[in-house]
Structure 1
Amino acid sequence: MGLYRSATSLAVVALAAAAAVQCDEESTAAQDCKCFPGDDCWPTAAEWSEFNSTINGKLVATVPLAAACHDDKWASYDEATCTKMQNGWLDPETHYPDSASIMAPFFANRSCDPFTERSAGCVIGTYVQYTVNVSEAADVAAGIKFANDRNIRLVIRNTGHDYNGKSTGAGALGLWMHHLNDIEFKDWDDEHYSGKAIKMGAGVLGGEAYKAADAQGLQVVGGECPTVGIAGGYSQGGGHSALSSRHGMAADQTLEWEVVTGTGEHLIANRENNTDLYWALSGGGGGTYSVVLSLTSKAHEDVPTAGANLTFTSAGVSQDAYYEAIATFHASLPKSADAGVMSVWYFTNETFAISPLTGPNVTAEQLKEFLTPLTDKLDELNIKYTSFFGDFDSYLSFFNNMFAPIQVGIAQYGGRLIPRSVVENNNTALTDAYRSITTQGAQFIGVALNASLATAGNPDNAVNPGWRDTLIDTVITTPWNFTAPWEDMIANQEQMTDVFMPTLAELTPNGSAYLNEADFRQPDWKDVFYGANYPKLEAIKNKYDPNHLFYAITAVGSDYWEPQDDGRLCKA
């Protein structure tokens, strides 16, 4: 299967680009490990071909996307193709049409990187070995059976958008859900919700759902990046949205899941049938309970939506003045969040940008009022700023005009949910913590929302309880450099775990983080990512996936397996 680059000294989940050396099968069995490329137990080409015939030719063998940038067996070096690949590598559109590529470079581990030397190895590495291009439930069931029978790691994947490596795995067979993209609108009526609903295949992207909803005079809750799939780890992990202060989290919208379980059973999970699975899938994390084929969610009446941007820099002012302005903005957030506004902003120790405020059924003049404390403070401190305020007749029009394209592969991530009480009662200490972190070269990304307003009276779900009193979802990033020594990128991730996250944890003891935008090395991840829900979630996981076939980094039940330095999964 080709040579694999060995893993670095950081022996953590999914860093491997395994060395495809012949493994002693008896030793592997004794360790209770997954079968791995190069083992005697690994299927032959003929056996893969036979499996392919049983699923009507839907098996895709992985050819690394950047193969044209290297001299290797996959393709001949092609300078023009390689240059095109380099120029588009940060665009999600480059990756999600591919059956194996992922957007988080840390977990690709430079397996086949367009920015490494032409002579550098191009290997499958941490990418899945094969994928089943799923078009129906039977394809999923066949993939599950093959992986179970052959003791092969299985990965559920859609776009490869995941920041924390859940959609790839060394030596794995992937279930590629990307082409399940049907959209249907329907009327829904039960004791909990009566209104319009949208049924989305597992591969439907946010932007596709927004466009379809707009044509129906509706809006749906999805991510700020239009290429994130709604039914996958996004909604399953909770899912914050520009509409969350008005409608709640993405998981709060779910009405019904269509799934295939770890034993190959095709089920419908809602508030009347398989209610425990419905509960777990609605916020308890993706990639671990079942394979989702479709999701039916609430669709809301569309309303005019206002948007605002504002930027300033630290040029010509003291750092004290700069961070005083930022603290003033944070102090103003409760009022806007309570009015249904969701805020996204970014800052380093040099630049600050609100990009954007989202005000469904709010006017641009009202957004100006919410930002008056900040603009007054900027005037007082003689800090120049630029701003924009606009009214749009629909959510889609707002979204297309106010959300800029989001690049991928540019950072490593850590996160913490900041309760409203910290902002209201300890804002100075919070500002000092942000200042310390950003002064050390990190970037802050803030998402301010009220995830409790729209959920009053709704049934319980598995969303981390920490979300319900959160004001700021703090995301801290360190920059990714494709040409820097790998050891520097490892050091950046260690700094995230050992320095930045503890700084915020001191302000939020017994606190939480958004599991989709967090440090995958979080030491106490069960408590931080899932809170009091974890024991119940684990029981549900064991019920619907009794063989622990579904593994994803920091997912519920993931500690059943222990990744080795080469990426192979062995029982812990």
Structure 2
Amino acid sequence: MAPRSLFASLLGALLLAAPGDAAVGTKVSSASKAGVPLFESETVQLTDKSLSTLNSKQAALFGFGKNGSRQSIPHKGECKLLPGDKSWPSGDVWGQFDDVLGDALIKTVPLAAACYPSWPEYDSDKCENVTADWTVSYMHAADPASIMWPLFEGRSCLPTGSNVSSSCTIGGYSSYAVNVSNVAQVQLAVNFARNENLRLVVKNTGHDFNGKSTGAGGLGVWTHNLKDIEYIANYNGSNYQGPAVKMGAGVQAFEIYAKAEELGFTAVGGEGKTVGVAGGYVLGGGHSPMSSVYGLAADQVLALEVVLANGRFVTVTEETDPDLFWAIRGGGGGTFGVVTSVISRVHPKVGVTVSTFSFATSSNVSANTFWAGVRSYFERFPAHADAGTYAYFWVLSTGTNSFEFLMNPFFAVNHTLDEFNTLVKPWFDDLKALGIPFTPNSTYYDSFYQGWDAGFPLETIGSVAMMTGSRLFPRENWEDTTKFNATVAAIRSTVSAGYPLLAFNMKAELPAGYPDDSSNPAFRDTLMHAITSVSWDANATNSQINATMNKLTYDVLGKWRATCPDSGAYMSESDISEPNFQQAFYGTNYDRLYKLKQRYDPAFLFYAPTGVGSEHWEVKSLDGLPDQNGRLCRL
């Protein structure tokens, strides 16, 4: 990161042989209270013995949290440091930090810096590659600071062809990131951020819609390269005995699904190919193509290895700490600690039928007929979800009284082709009776992985000219005729006004015998997770963007909320300005989560927008938008 200081020579006795390992770290036993050995990366830990070799100034930088230090609650108006502040760590201090990390500190260079001659990294060929891949999630996931939705970073360094920014700054990206390869590095980062009053952010892939993995002046803990996967044929816990898998925090959907295909099991993970299954996804609940059968990803978790806000590394299970075990499974990523691995139950190999098709208005299909076909589909949501299926579909306006429906795909878990056709026959018969032409393309696959890989498209990300919002529509909206009519009317009104509907027909009930967790209670009753979006011109002013955002929050989503005011929304795919986010994202769990936040992180070291306790903080955004490009201050 920077020229090596003489500080490293003081630590020679504790240097570890592997490149990238923390220089201050102790190799410990691999035994874990989870009953499954620690990964090799988890056996390198920061201990009191490690710190005893440091002098008092060094210990002040990297020591564990204690009562009366920075663990005390910040005063009103107290802010996290930014580069240029008098108390911002000096270059020598950052050099010392890099030394103890073992050269794992990365100073942030935005991906698009290659497009700007003012940056030393300017490279026209690389700029072309970055521009071409800007909407591809793999590129952003593999960068220590970049996130999938740069709108919420602050649009501070975009490819020059975007016509949005004429300059490149670090903006709302973290100033530095630690490329984590072992637990000691996580502990050092957590302690350093706490002791030096730095904003701390945690990033695996940066998939969250609202920029939870970034923040101006932040120190990032980048867990993306913790890729270990271990299959456990017979996990033996107090409340579960059976197959399980231990995943490092950096494991993504395409990786765990490929391993499951290899070893003959099925995992509950995201539909998106690059989603970090063992990161913020599972900590925020995590809906899945398997959710109608097995519930949320958080429900599968049996144990977690975690670095807490005080820097201590702990094993969290239902036996070791039932409160934290409840809270961290569903209470939101970047809230209670940094997870280095999770152990989750897995399930038998299962076949799936995948079907794609579309229908639209035409000279022979009126708008009313089209919506009758959509209504017929909606009527079957309870039956389809109760059959264990998961559907990903769009309804779009293509002009005045012109619409299109896209099924992309219908994912019928544990259904043969004949069983799938029997399930959807009532709906398909209605479409035929209405005179709506459609041609299903349906294929049976022997395994989840094959069907998932073929059925779900790679998500398109990177937009700075749109934002999304969502709602979880509950089963009661299908059981009550008046509420069902209001739901269909609200969806039609939304789409007719030019706002797209991207939705999932699914359920996510907590399976019988599974321990309760803090996932949004609204998920337990849902039959549709619905998302919509608004967009604006590339040259729109910040005030125009704010007005458009407010229209989504209060007008567009307001109609959806009115049909189910007591429900909520999925925090990871939501409107960052959701009114009363505590109720919308956490429901009746919020009060308990808040009390546990005060116990495990009394100084609120872990901040994430819309996270538990975030109402006590504000980001003084430079552009006036709800992004992370500004100083984080205590309200």
When normalised by structure 1's length, the TM-score is: 0.92
Q: Is the 8 A contact 2:473 2:530 kept in 1?
A: yes
**SS in structure 2 of the partner of residue 556 of structure 1:** coil
Distance in 2 between residues matched to 1:230 and 1:74, nearest whole Å: 35
Larger Rg: 1 or 2? 2
Distance in 2 between residues matched to 1:283 and 1:88, nearest whole Å: 32
Q: Does 1:474 align with 2:530?
A: yes
Q: Which moved more, 1:548-557 or 1:108-117?
A: 108-117
Q: Is the 8 A contact 1:130 1:174 kept in 2?
A: yes
Measured against aligned partners, the alpha-carbon deviations of 1:162-188 in whole angstroms (never above 9, x if no partner) come to 101101001111000001110001121
Residue equivalent to 1:321: 369
In the TM superposition, residue 117 of structure 1 has moved relative to its aligned partner by 5.0
Compared CA separation, residues 385 and 256, structure 1 to 2 (3 A) = same
Q: Does 1:212 align with 2:259?
A: yes
Matched AA of 1:162: D
Residue equivalent to 2:631: 568
Residue pairs, 1:257-276, within 5 angstroms? 257-276=304-323
Residue equivalent to 1:363: 416
**SS in structure 1 of the partner of residue 621 of structure 2:** coil
Q: 1:460 aligns with which of 516, 529, 534?
A: 516
In the TM superposition, residue 565 of structure 1 has moved relative to its aligned partner by 2.9
Q: Does 1:449 align with 2:506?
A: yes
**SS in structure 2 of the partner of residue 215 of structure 1:** helix
**SS in structure 2 of the partner of residue 89 of structure 1:** coil
Q: Does 1:88 align with 2:133?
A: yes
**SS in structure 1 of the partner of residue 350 of structure 2:** coil
Compared CA separation, residues 356 and 31, structure 1 to 2 (3 A) = same
Q: 2:174 aligns with which of 107, 120, 128?
A: 128
In the TM superposition, residue 374 of structure 1 has moved relative to its aligned partner by 2.7
Residue equivalent to 2:29: none
Compared CA separation, residues 29 and 217, structure 1 to 2 (3 A) = closer
Q: Please, which runs of 5 or more residues in structure 1 have no aligned partner? A: 1-27
Residue equivalent to 1:387: 440
Q: Is the 8 A contact 1:359 1:367 kept in 2?
A: yes
Measured against aligned partners, the alpha-carbon deviations of 1:40-80 in whole angstroms (never above 9, x if no partner) come to 111222221111111011000001100122232343351x3
Distance in 1 between residues matched to 2:426 and 2:250, nearest whole Å: 42
Measured against aligned partners, the alpha-carbon deviations of 1:274-328 in whole angstroms (never above 9, x if no partner) come to 1111111111111110110001001111011111112112233322221111111
**SS in structure 1 of the partner of residue 311 of structure 2:** coil
Distance in 2 between residues matched to 1:149 and 1:171, nearest whole Å: 15
Distance in 2 between residues matched to 1:117 and 1:339, nearest whole Å: 48
Matched AA of 1:424: E
In the TM superposition, residue 253 of structure 1 has moved relative to its aligned partner by 0.3
Q: Is the 8 A contact 2:164 2:539 kept in 1?
A: no
Compared CA separation, residues 74 and 346, structure 1 to 2 (3 A) = farther
Distance in 2 between residues matched to 1:46 and 1:192, nearest whole Å: 50
Q: 1:527 aligns with which of 583, 595, 613?
A: 583
**SS in structure 2 of the partner of residue 371 of structure 1:** helix
Residue pairs, 1:53-68, within 5 angstroms? 53-68=99-114
Residue equivalent to 1:108: 153
Q: Which moved more, 1:177-186 or 1:84-93?
A: 84-93
Compared CA separation, residues 338 and 29, structure 1 to 2 (3 A) = closer
Q: Which moved more, 1:150-159 or 1:382-391?
A: 382-391
In the TM superposition, residue 492 of structure 1 has moved relative to its aligned partner by 3.1
The sequence identity of aligned pairs, in percent, is: 38
Distance in 1 between residues matched to 2:292 and 2:457, nearest whole Å: 21
Q: 1:434 aligns with which of 466, 486, 491?
A: 491
Matched AA of 2:303: E
Distance in 2 between residues matched to 1:29 and 1:451, nearest whole Å: 40
Distance in 2 between residues matched to 1:84 and 1:481, nearest whole Å: 24
Distance in 1 between residues matched to 2:208 and 2:271, nearest whole Å: 14
Residue pairs, 1:149-164, within 5 angstroms? 149-164=195-210
Q: Is the 8 A contact 1:225 1:406 kept in 2?
A: yes
Compared CA separation, residues 57 and 319, structure 1 to 2 (3 A) = same
Residue equivalent to 2:277: 230
When normalised by structure 2's length, the TM-score is: 0.83
Residue pairs, 1:36-51, within 5 angstroms? 36-51=82-97
In the TM superposition, residue 119 of structure 1 has moved relative to its aligned partner by 8.0
Q: 1:494 aligns with which of 532, 537, 550?
A: 550
Residue equivalent to 1:424: 479
Residue equivalent to 1:146: 192
Measured against aligned partners, the alpha-carbon deviations of 1:408-458 in whole angstroms (never above 9, x if no partner) come to 124421111101121232322211101111122211111122222x61222
Distance in 2 between residues matched to 1:541 and 1:152, nearest whole Å: 19
Matched AA of 1:376: D
Compared CA separation, residues 480 and 372, structure 1 to 2 (3 A) = farther
In the TM superposition, residue 267 of structure 1 has moved relative to its aligned partner by 0.4
Q: Is the 8 A contact 1:69 1:118 kept in 2?
A: no
In the TM superposition, residue 466 of structure 1 has moved relative to its aligned partner by 1.3
Q: Does 1:413 align with 2:468?
A: yes
Residue equivalent to 2:62: none
**SS in structure 2 of the partner of residue 297 of structure 1:** strand
**SS in structure 2 of the partner of residue 293 of structure 1:** strand
Q: Which moved more, 1:416-425 or 1:196-205?
A: 416-425
Q: Does 1:557 align with 2:613?
A: yes
Distance in 2 between residues matched to 1:481 and 1:46, nearest whole Å: 45
Residue equivalent to 1:70: 116
Residue pairs, 1:257-336, within 5 angstroms? 257-316=304-363, 317-336=365-384
**SS in structure 2 of the partner of residue 200 of structure 1:** strand
Q: Which moved more, 1:116-125 or 1:97-106?
A: 116-125
Matched AA of 1:569: L
In the TM superposition, residue 484 of structure 1 has moved relative to its aligned partner by 5.3
Q: Which moved more, 1:220-229 or 1:186-195?
A: 186-195
**SS in structure 2 of the partner of residue 240 of structure 1:** coil
